Amino acid sequence: MWFQQYRQFFYFFVFLGSLVVVSDVQAEKWWTTSRDSVGIAPDPTMTSEAIIHVYGARAYSWRGYFGIHTWIAVKPTNAESYTVYEVIGWRQRRKIPVLTIYDNVPDRRWYGSAPVLLAEKRGQGVDVLIERIDRAANDYPYARNYKVWPGPNSNTFTAWVSRAVPELGLDLPPTAIGKDYLGYRFIALPPSGSGFQFSIFGLFGIVVSAVEGLELNVLGLVFGVDPDPWAIKLPVIGRVNLSA
C-alpha cells in the first residue's frame, strides 16, 4: 500500500529507540527467556470474585525498545483459572489465526519482559463485562492478519476490545503501536471508548478524549498530553508523569 514508502522512516526511529534503555529486555534467545508469573494477578483458586486485567510488556528483541505487546486476562466469578485473549504475530507464518483465546498465566513475562498492569476491574458487575469482552474478541476482524507496523497487531486487538467495553477506562500508552489502526475506517471512538478519533491507517491522526487526553499520531508515533493527571506522552519513552 502507499504507506510502504514510510518504512525507512519508521526503522530509523527503531534505531534511535534502541539507543535508549527503556526496558528490561534481555539479549537472550526467545526459547531461553522467562515466561513466569510476576505475581500481579491474584491466585484464582484463592479468589472467588470476577477479575479483568489488561497487561502490557515490552516486545521481544529490538521491538521492545520501541513498543509493547498487550493482552487481556479475565476470570469469571468462582472460576479457578484465567482466560487470556491476545494476538500473537508468529502464528501468521504458520497460517493459523493470530488471535488466541486460551487458559494461561495472566501476568507472565513476555519473553523476559515484566508486564505492567494497565487496567483492572474486580467484583460486582464484572462478569457482564467479561461476557462483552468475549463477544468483542470473537468479532475481531483481523483474527488472521498481523503486521508489526502500523497494524493490525496485538495492540490493535486490545484497542478493539476496549472500544467495545469502555467501562475498562483503558488508556493505552503511546508505546502501544497499532492501537490507532482502524483499517479502512477513518473516524471511530478512541481505544478508551470515550471521545473522538481520526486516523488514516494508523499512520496519521488525532485522539481527543477525557481518558487519553490529546494525542497526535505521526507515522504511528504518538505524541500527546494528558491533563488528568498531568503527563506527556512520547514515542519510545512512553508516558511521563508531570504531577507531583
* Number of Cβ atoms within 10 Å of the Cβ of 13: 15
Residue of 182, 194, 165 whose CA lies nearest to 72: 165
> Which pLDDT does position 4 carry in this prediction?
54
pLDDT in tens, 36-56: 999 999 999 999 999 999 999
**Residue 126: CB partners within 8 Å, gap ≥ 6?**
49, 50, 51, 52, 77
Phi, psi at 143, each rounded to 5°: -65, -15
What distance in Å separates the CA atoms of residue 33 and residue 66, rounded to the nearest whole number? 19
Res. 18 pLDDT band, cuts 50 70 90: very low
Residue of 198, 193, 199 whose CA lies nearest to 212: 193
> Which pLDDT does position 2 carry in this prediction?
43
User: Cell digits for 4?
Assistant: 510502504
The separation between CA 121 and the C-alpha centre of its own chain, rounded to angstroms, equals 17
The yes-or-no verdict on residue 205 having pLDDT over 90 is yes
> Which pLDDT does position 9 carry in this prediction?
52
Res. 244 pLDDT band, cuts 50 70 90: low
Q: What is the mean pLDDT of residues 24-44?
A: 78
pTM of the model: 0.88
Query: Nearest 10 degrees: CA dihedral of 120, 20, 191, 96?
Result: -90
Higher pLDDT, 97 or 29: 97
pLDDT in tens, 207-232: 999 999 999 999 999 999 999 889 99
What distance in Å separates the CA atoms of residue 198 and residue 46, rounded to the nearest whole number? 44
